[in-house]
Structure 1
Amino acid sequence: MGCQYSGYNNNDEIQTNISEPLIDIIKCQFEEYKVLVYSKSDCEDSQKVKQIFRQNDITFEYFEVDNMNEGPQLLVILQKITSRKNPPFVFIKGKFYGSSKEVKNGFASGELSKALLN
């Protein structure tokens, strides 16, 4: 599940180079956006997640990490937070929800719709 990202590297050296301001920006985004998606522009699963939200008339913010200067560092942070290697990374009210499969299943069961109403 998810899309491969060629910038993924599980090297501890890279992780030590993550800037504190980037972590602070991510924390602010978690607080600012009720539904937040970190995706990859050419990723089929990323496109599916965005389409599911659009079909359900859910307002969401998304960032295409492969189009960002900080993308590789951002992915390392997201991988640590979520324990997943590949986008999309979906956050609901600042908490990691899952990827395309979880979003699809969440709407099918009604769980995600309820979570978004609260």
Structure 2
Amino acid sequence: MDRIANLGSQKAVVIFSKSSCYMSHAIKRLFYEQGVSPMIHELDQDSRGKEMECALIRLGCSPAVPAVFIGGKFVGSATTVMTLHVNGSLNKLLKDAGALWL
């Protein structure tokens, strides 16, 4: 759990993902289209990926990926991020975290 918190705070936006997950791909694309350059951790390409996946599940992610951290705080999974995007709250979070300048 400490590793997740540490990695989640290394950049303004951090996404835990799996390279084969279509929702992870969609969330990464959403951030790129917003002009955000997130730090991506592909769990299926990390030797400790299974351990991190279990920690994300304990944190409340179901499924474990994608899991998004903004400003060092756990925001949620794809459903939460999409809800924030649709209701306009995502931009404010990104600006407050220093991930967006506009």
TM over 0.5: yes
Partner SS, residue 74 of structure 2: strand
> Which among 48, 51, 55 is matched to residue 26 of structure 2?
48
Q: d(CA) in 2 for partners of 1:106 and 1:53?
A: 12
Q: Percent identity?
A: 29
| 8 Å contact kept, 2:54–2:64 | no
Q: Which has the larger radius of gyration?
A: 1
Q: d(CA) in 2 for partners of 1:91 and 1:60?
A: 10
Q: d(CA) in 1 for partners of 2:92 and 2:27?
A: 18
Q: How many residues get paired?
A: 96
Moved over 3 A (4+): none
> Which among 20, 37, 43 is matched to residue 65 of structure 1?
43
Q: d(CA) in 2 for partners of 1:70 and 1:100?
A: 22
Q: d(CA) in 1 for partners of 2:61 and 2:33?
A: 28
Q: Which runs of 5+ in 1 are unaligned?
A: 1-22
| 8 Å contact kept, 2:9–2:69 | no
Q: d(CA) in 1 for partners of 2:37 and 2:26?
A: 15
Matched, 1:39 2:1: no
Using the size of structure 1 for normalisation, the TM-score is 0.72
